[in-house]
Amino acid sequence: MPRKKNSVPLSRLEQTVMARVWDLKEATAADIADALQAEKPLAITTVHTVLNNLCKKGWVERAPRTGRSLLFKPLVTRETAGRRSLREVIANAFGGSPQDAILCLLRDEQLTQEERDDLRRIIASNFSQHEGDAS
C-alpha cells in the first residue's frame, strides 16, 4: 500500500523549518530564515529548497499572495506530526507497547516529581473522561 504523501518522514533540517512554519502559521522563506537566525542560521536559498521539499512531501502548501515572495502554510498540524512521531518511537523503541513507553517516561530520572505528578494527573483525567464516553 503506498504511503500518504505527508506521512513521509522529515529530515532534522525539515523538522526545524517545519517547526518555524507552525510557529508563524504562514511564512515566507525570509520569515523562516529570520526566525532561525539565532538557533540555526541558514541561507534563504537553503530555506527555500527545504520548503519546496516540504511541499513535495505534502507537509506545506504555497498560499496565494500578492507580491514576489511565496507564502507557505502548514498542511499537517503539529499535533498530528507529533502523534505520528510518537507512534513510530513506540513501535521502534518499545515494541509497540505504549505502556512501556509511559513507564520509561515516568521512570526517567531527569523528570521532576512535579512533572511525574502532572503526567499521572493527565493520564488519570483522560482515562476517566473516556470511560464516561463508553457508557
pLDDT of 40 strictly over 90: no
- Mean pLDDT for the chain? 86
Q: What is the pTM of this model?
A: 0.72
Q: Which three cell numbers stand for residue 71?
A: 507564502
| Separation between Cα atoms, residue 10 and residue 4, nearest integer Å | 14
Q: Which three cell numbers stand for residue 105?
A: 517516561
Confidence of residue 1 (pLDDT cuts 50, 70, 90): very low
Strand partners, 27: 72
How confident is the model over 69-119, as pLDDT tens digits? Answer: 889 999 999 999 888 889 989 999 999 999 999 888 888 889 898 998 898
Which tops the pLDDT comparison, 1 or 114?
Answer: 114
